[in-house]
Structure 1
Amino acid sequence: MPLIHVALREGTDPHYRRALATGIQRAMIDVLGIPDDDYFQLTHEQTAENLIYDRNFFGVPRSDDAVLVALSFNARPAAAKQALFEAIAGNLERDPGLPRTDLFMTIVETAPENWWAQGRTVDPISGTDSRMAPQPG
């Protein structure tokens, strides 16, 4: 049951925001094997005064169109998280055309017992949704 927060500058087109959500969800399905209906995202549009970041973070020029994606889910292997980052970046670069230089991502891992939703069943071995595909080591 991942929970995704997307922060970006206010005034973006609804189609742009939907493309961000779709690209992130597609990567979660493809890389982590989450079920199609396991879809919870919050989009937070911020005023310019409230979206604060260094325009040359890591020495790379950034634009006013920066997007921060915070992903919360159960622990995954480092390789899976890196593959997820790459899949999201690739998806968002294709549609809606977000340059990788304007994308920032973080993962917050939570214990399996910290999630609740009526009807959810948990695999006792993996601690994830019992409908998920088995994850590689």
Structure 2
Amino acid sequence: MPFVNISLARGKSDQYLAAVSQSVHDALVAELNMKPDDNFQLIHQHDPGEMVFNRGFRGGPRSDDWIVFTIDDDLDRGERAKRGFYQTLVRLLEERAGVRPADVFVIMTVVPPENFSFAGGVIGTDVAAAESLEATAKAPGTRDTYTRAEMVYAVTQLFRNRDRGPILPMLRDDVVLTLPTTLPYGGEFTGPAAFDDFFAKIPGGGAVWKSFDTAVDDVLAADDHVIARLTNTAVLKATGRTVVFQNLWLFGVAAGRITTAQLYADTAATTGGSPG
């Protein structure tokens, strides 16, 4: 996700601005493998005296047509790719807009994905994880491991939207699901099918709860686990009583796959006692 700020002297024609804009975008696509529709730019035009620069420091000679590109990206593309980008950029600018290579100044900054939110208050790591998992789903069997960010996204989707799609490919074939034995539906279950069956419906299959709604408080990850803290609002089928209670899910991780899923809960809520 590159975000491009372009700063230049005021007074350029619309055709010049369009050529500059298209040149930097085409260079990003060609050399840094940006998606063609990933195009976000702001063009800043400055009056005389608002652009202060040395005409000959580390380059030049610079003219009044000095132009600055400040590019924020969520990945470090590497030195080789950046060399290619700089060279392609100055070539396209000269060919299309008549910009002298000596007048082209570029600053590239790596901004972590979590520092982006593209729209709707969604953190950039979730967007990147969703895109990556969507691509994987179109080519099943091509991946054996998943990143921490992808697992956080998958766990969040599991509880927030009851969407099992992202997490199921991450499960190891011998994944173990453990529920407190004090729950009516407690026990230990093995395999992705058992995992999928449990999360496909209300916990216990509707025998305990008339309804069961979950809010995700937070999802945290380390190298060997992912933790989801939840607040649940549920209606007991036996009494019709509404209870609000918190619980925690601990997902064990090894070699980029989920190996275990364990529920930690105050089980008094299921009997109509204090939910804790």
* Interval of TM-score (by shorter of Structure 1 and Structure 2): 0.7 to 0.9
Q: Percent identity?
A: 26
The CA deviation at 1:110 is 1.1
Answer whether contact 1:8 1:44 (CA < 8 A) is retained: yes
1:69 equivalent to 2:85? Answer: no
Q: Which amino acid letter does the alignment assign opposite residue 38 of structure 1?
A: D
| 3-state SS, counterpart of residue 58 of structure 1 | coil
Q: What's the TM-score, normalizing by structure 1?
A: 0.84
Alignment-derived partner of residue 22 in structure 2? 22
Structure 2 partner of 1:91 = 92
AA aligned opposite 1:30: A
Gaps of 5+ in 1: 128-137
Aligned to 2:9: 9
**Contact conserved, 2:59 with 2:102, CA < 8 A, in 1?**
no
What is the correspondence of 1:1-137 to structure 2 with a 5 Å cutoff? 1-58=1-58, 60-73=60-73, 74-118=75-119, 120-122=127-129, 123=132
Quote the residue 1:135 is aligned against.
Answer: none
Displacement of 1:113 in angstroms is 2.1
- Amino acid paired to 1:50: E
Query: Given the superposition, is the C-alpha separation of residues 87 and 59 from structure 1 closer, same or farther in structure 2, using an over 3 Å criterion?
Result: closer
Does the 8 A contact of 2:60 with 2:103 survive in 1? no
Show structure 2 runs of 5+ residues with no match.
Answer: 133-145, 150-276
Which one-letter code corresponds to 1:10 in the other structure?
R
SS in structure 1 at match of 2:52: coil
Secondary structure of 1:60's counterpart equals coil
The one-letter code matched in structure 2 to 1:16 is: Y
- Deviation per CA, 1:55-106, whole angstroms, max 9, x where unpaired? 2223632111100011110211111111111111111111101010111111
Shift of 1:117: 2.1
The one-letter code sitting in structure 1 at the alignment partner of 2:28 is M
Deviations 1:9-34 (A, max 9, x none): 01111110110000000011111111
**Residue 71 of structure 1 contacts residue 107 of structure 1 at CA under 8 Å; is this kept in 2?**
yes
- The amino acid that maps onto 2:100 is P
Residue 77 of structure 1 aligns with an amino acid whose one-letter code is G
Look up the equivalent residue of 1:84 and give its one-letter code: F
Work out the CA distance in 1 between the residues paired with 2:106 and 2:128: 28
| Greater relative CO (CA pairs within 8 A, separation 6+) | 1
Q: Which stretch shows the higher mean deviation, 56-65 or 112-121? A: 112-121
**Residue range with higher mean Cα deviation, 56-65 or 13-22:** 56-65
CA 1:32 to 1:58, structure 2 compared with 1: closer, same or farther past 3 Å?
A: closer
**In structure 1, C-alpha distance between the alignment counterparts of 2:40 and 2:52, rounded to whole Å:** 25
Structure with the bigger percentage of strand:
2
